[in-house]
C-alpha cells in the first residue's frame, strides 16, 4: 500500500512540475521562436515585425513578409526590422536592405521529399532571395562586396509588395 502511494505522489509531482514549467514558458515568458508565416526559426539579426491586413506577426525576414502579403493580396507594413550586424531594432524607413546576395537569410532544406519518398529540388522558396537589413549604408555596401547582391532603399523594397 505504501509503494502505491509513493508512485501516485511521484506522478502528481511530475504532473505539477510539467504544468508549472508550461505555464512559465507560455504565460510568464512567451517567446516566439518560429516565423509567423513559414514556421522557420527566427534569428535575432533578421527578425521583422510585419503587419499584413492589420494582423501583426514576427517574421523570419523581409522577403517572407513580402511574399505572404503578395500571396494573400493584402497590404503590408513593416513595423520593425533588425540590423544584420548588431541585431538592434531599426526603423524600416531609415534602413538599407541587401537583396539577391549569395548568403542564405533563412534556414531551409534545399531538397524536399515527395509522396513516393523520393527527393526533388526545391522549386520555390518564399524567403529567396534573402534580404538582409542594415542600419548603415556603408555596412550594406561592404556586405555586398563579400556576398554579392544589391543595396536598395526602403521604398525600393516596398515596391515589391504589390498590394499597398
Q: Alpha carbon of 33 to those of 13, 83, 121, 138: distances in Å?
A: 29, 18, 27, 30
Which pLDDT band holds residue 147 (cuts at 50, 70, 90)? Answer: very high
Number of other residues whose CB lies within 10 A of the CB of residue 71: 12
The yes-or-no verdict on residue 22 having pLDDT over 70 is no
The yes-or-no verdict on residue 98 having pLDDT over 90 is yes
pLDDT confidence of residue 34: 85
Distance CA 96, CA 5 (A): 64
Residues 6+ apart with CB under 8 A from 109: 122
Distance CA 156, CA 66 (A): 12
- pTM across the whole model: 0.70
Domain boundaries, the chain: 1-30, 32-158
- 72-95 pLDDT tens trace: 999 999 999 999 999 999 999 999
Q: What is the DSSP letter of 93?
A: G
Given a contact cutoff of 8 angstroms between Cβ atoms, the answer to whether 97 and 154 are in contact is yes
Distance CA 94, CA 77 (A): 14
Residue with cell 522577403: 63
Torsion angle in degrees (nearest 10) through CA of 127, 129, 133, 138: 170
Amino acid at each position: 500500500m505504501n509503494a502505491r502511494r509513493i508512485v501516485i505522489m511521484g506522478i502528481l509531482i511530475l504532473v505539477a512540475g510539467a504544468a508549472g514549467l508550461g505555464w512559465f514558458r507560455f504565460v510568464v515568458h512567451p517567446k516566439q521562436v518560429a516565423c509567423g508565416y513559414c514556421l522557420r526559426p527566427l534569428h535575432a539579426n533578421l527578425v521583422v515585425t510585419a503587419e499584413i491586413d492589420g494582423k501583426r506577426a514576427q517574421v523570419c525576414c523581409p522577403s517572407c513578409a513580402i511574399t505572404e502579403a503578395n500571396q494573400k493580396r493584402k497590404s503590408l507594413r513593416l513595423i520593425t526590422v533588425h540590423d544584420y550586424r548588431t541585431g538592434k531594432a531599426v526603423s524600416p524607413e531609415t534602413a538599407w536592405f541587401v537583396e539577391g546576395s549569395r548568403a542564405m537569410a533563412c534556414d531551409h532544406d534545399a531538397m524536399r521529399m515527395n509522396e513516393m519518398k523520393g527527393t526533388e529540388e526545391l522549386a520555390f522558396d518564399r524567403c529567396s532571395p534573402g534580404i538582409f537589413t542594415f542600419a548603415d549604408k556603408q555596412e550594406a555596401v561592404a556586405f555586398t562586396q563579400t556576398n554579392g547582391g544589391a543595396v536598395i532603399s526602403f521604398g525600393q523594397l516596398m515596391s515589391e509588395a504589390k498590394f499597398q
